[in-house]
Structure formats: C-alpha cells, structure tokens
A and B are shown apart, each in its own frame.
Chain A
C-alpha cells in the first residue's frame, strides 16, 4: 500500500510535468491576446488585459482567409478519398485470403517508414509535368498517399475486430456480400472509422513540406501561409500566435477526444490489436 504522502508527492510531480507540457500552448494563447507592444515587453506582462486585436488582424494578412479555406477543403477531400481507398483495401486484406495480401501490408508499412522529404523532388517534377502545380488537387493526392498506409493498417485492425460470422449470418438471410459489409460490419467499426478519419484529417491539416514545394499562391494551405507571416523584420507576433491558435485548435480538440486511439493507431502494424 502506498502511503498518502507518497501519493501526494507523485501527483504534484505529474501536475508539474503537465504544466511544463502545456506551457508553450498557454504562451501561444497569451501572446495572441496581446498588443504587439505588450507581447514583446520585457519583463513579460503576464497580467495584460486580453485584447482580440490580433484575431481581427489576421483576416487582413495576406492569404490567411484563403489559406484557411484551402486547408479545410484539402483536409476534408483527403479524408474522403483516403478513407474510401483504405476501407476497400483493408476489407479485402482482413476478409479474403489471397496471394500477395501480406506483401501489400508490408509495402504499406514500409512506405510509411520512408521519409516524405526523399519523395518530394520527383513529386514536384511530376506535378509540374502534369500541370498540377498550385492546385489543391495535387496536395490532396500527396496527402492521400502520405496517409493511406496508416489508414489501411488501422482499418484492417478494426475490420478484424468485427467477427466475420456476423456477415455470414446476414448473407444467409439473403444479403449480398456488399450489403453485409455495408450494413453489418461498417456500423460496428464506426468508432474506429472515426478515429482513422480524424488522424488522416490531421495528417493533411498539419502537412508542411509538400505544401511548401507544390504551392506558393492561390492553393497554399494554412501552415505555409502562416510561415510567411514570419519574415526577417517586423514580425507581428500576436497575429502569428493568433493564426497559430486557429491552426492548432482543431488538432487539440481531436487529440483530447481521441487519446486512446492515437498511440495504437499510429503504431498500427507494429503492435497487435
């Protein structure tokens, strides 16, 4: 039995670790609620009255509004395409025995371990050749490719978790294989599908390198737009932090909602279950 004092000490240490973990996010919020002068004051003005100037100001900054729209469009499109492709593949791998199914899974795992930066040059030249530079479509293609292996591995696990007998029962009752999968398996794996979808969405939402190389104007998503706010001189830090807060908000909500699924999802393929 642990003594209550030890329990208190351990709780305090864990709380301190949580405070350190949350500090940079808190700092971002605090700076985003300041005027430029207060934000850069030394010593820092911790108790400055919060103002929303920066949140109003970002809409006037070049590309912010279009960047936000682009990010939403690109991320939702990636989510839709990626889930459809991954669901088809995952269902086949989980439910059918066929030559090459293991090879497909291993190829998926391997392609996830390859660094995207080593693929970006040919991808850029291919996009140029196909006339797809500066389009949202090419980023959707890139992000589908980057997230597909993760999605297939995660979804395969969730299909496996639904007993095949349930589908067979439905088929005995006259349903086709497709109907059985659609009406029986899919609803049962809905939470897993949602978790996968959120991770894919965030993967697209967060991506920077392909956005940096493939777009520079109209099709730029939020991260590369915000990166441009940080020039060499006269950085408007409250606006930069306000824009960062907007970019980070959906990610934080998803992280808190999904924490159980994240680790198992991200390591899918390396651990069982």
Chain B
C-alpha cells in the first residue's frame, strides 16, 4: 500500500470502511435472525427433541400456526390493543398539544411534567400499574369505592384485563404523541389562522380546516410510530398478566415468547416471528411511502 495508492483509493474506500462495523453488527443481529426464522419456519423443530431441525415441511407450519394455538385470537387482541391504545393516545395527545400550544400560565413547566412518562422503564410502569390495578388494595378500586362501586379484579378477569393494560399503555405513551404534535403545532405558519379568524371561523372550524390539514405530516409520524411500537409490546403485558387471564391479553409478541421459551418449539416461534415481521414490514412500507413520497431527492 503505497502512499499514491492510498491517495487514489482512500477517498472511495473510506465511507465503506466507516459504515462497515455498523452494517456488520446489524447484519449479524437483525438480518441473521430473520434468515434463521425463515429457515426454522419451514421445518419441524422442537428443542426438547433435537438440537437440529427435524424435517422440512415447507409452508405447512404456517398453515398450522395460523389455525392452531390461538394465533387468530392473538392477532385480534394485538389489533384491538394497538388500535384502541393508539386512538386514545392520539386524541389525548392532540388535546394536550393544543392546550399547551395556547398561551397558558407555566407553559414550560407543564410541558415538562406532561412528558415525564415518555421514556419510563416499561418494567417499572408495569409494576406500578399492577399495584394500582390491584383488586384488594389498588388505588383505582379505592377511588371506585368512594363513588360507591364494588371492587373490580381488574387484571384477574378476562373482561377487564385488556382494558387495564391498554390504559397503562396509554398513560405511558401519550406523551410521545403530545410532543410530536406540539412540535408540529409550533412551526405552523400564523397566516392561515389569521385569515380564518378574519373570515369568522369558529375555534372548531379552525382546528378542523386549518390546523389538522397543516399538521398532517406530524400526525402521520406520531401515529405510525405509535402503531409500529404498540404491535410489538411485550414487557408491560408480560409483567402485568403473562397474557392472561386465560388468553385475554395474549398478543402475538407473547405467543412468540411462549412458543420459543415455554414450548421450545423453534419452528412455531419462527413462523410467528416471520408473520409479525411481515406485519411490521407492511407498516414500515406505509410509513416510508407516506413520509418520503413528496420529496424524493
């Protein structure tokens, strides 16, 4: 490697050498596992019986995984959970963003306090809410008793467990939607609002016809990110209910974990992982297409 050679090729090689470590780490830790899941999903493979895959079965595993073992139920729970939580987070986050965007007292302090849950450790959130939802000495049941209601075993009965987990998730992540939308509101131009005021538009009309259309990019970012992160939720549900009672809160994430680490069925875990990756990839495609369409460089 002479100095001349280095000068000639160094500039062209440099960026590849610089990105190589990051790309290699991701190839080994993300691409590798995806390929492994694909491979395992096409075989029969239970770790109890064998360290190696047992028989190639093609796509048969997918058919079985979809009709058996509660996949459709878990898909339904995941969808209800995701849509319910993200919808609530959006409504609350938008309301808070509009509120804090107004000229209220102690604005900065209130904004700071409102974002507190955003990065909170999921395990801690799950434990605190598990205590608060507790049937005997939970604070929520105490508040209900003040209003004259009988205690509800929130996490211990199928009818309320998903709701309790959903409220927990909404508390945890509304702050993200709030911050993204507030950021969007603060960079909106003033002129359209002033024009709407001059024409006598009500507050609701200005929101509906001026603010929301202008906020569209921020709203899309907030919603898509929340959806992508809500479908993968594992920690809170695992700690609060283990997917129960029965299968009331069993999402696809929990199904994958149970297949791999309770049944040791690597093939089934592979199938479910591939299906969840496909759902995530579809959402990612929507995200990237909506966000990058207008201005491809």
Contacts and interface: CB of A to CB of B under 8 A. Distances in A.
Interface of A: 2, 7-8, 10-11, 13-15, 17-18, 21-22, 24-25, 27-28, 31, 40-44, 85-86, 88-89, 91-93, 95-96, 98, 101, 104, 106-111, 113-126, 141-142, 144-145, 148-149, 152, 177, 199, 202, 205-206, 208-209, 212-213, 223-224, 226-227, 230, 237, 240-241, 244, 247-248, 251-252, 254-256, 259, 262-264, 266-267, 270-271
B183 interface: yes
A114 B123 CA distance: 21
Contacts of B119: 199, 202, 206, 251, 254-255, 262
A138 to B, nearest CB: 11
A92 B12 CA distance: 11
B25 A98 contact: no
B142 A14 contact: no
Contacts of A14: 96, 99-100, 104, 110, 114
Chain B, interface size category, equals: 35 or more
Given A14-B96, A270-B224, A92 B25 contact: no
Interface string B174-201: 0110011001000000000000000000
29 contacts: A11-B105, A11-B106, A14-B99, A17-B114, A25-B117, A41-B137, A42-B136, A86-B22, A89-B18, A96-B15, A106-B288, A108-B26, A113-B284, A113-B287, A118-B277, A118-B280, A121-B260, A121-B266, A126-B33, A144-B29, A148-B25, A206-B121, A206-B122, A208-B238, A213-B257, A244-B123, A252-B116, A267-B180, A271-B221
A230 B127 contact: yes
A145 B171 CA distance: 28
The 6 closest A-B CB pairs, nearest first, are A115-B232, A145-B29, A92-B18, A122-B33, A96-B15, A122-B36
Contacts of B96: 14, 17
With most chain A CB atoms within 10 A of its CB, the pick from B33, B102, B111 is B33
A266 B171 contact: no
B97 to A, nearest CB: 11
A107 B33 CA distance: 15
B166 interface: no
A98 B12 contact: yes
- The secondary structure that dominates the A interface is helix
A149 B121 contact: no
B37 interface: yes
Interface string B72-88: 00000000000000000
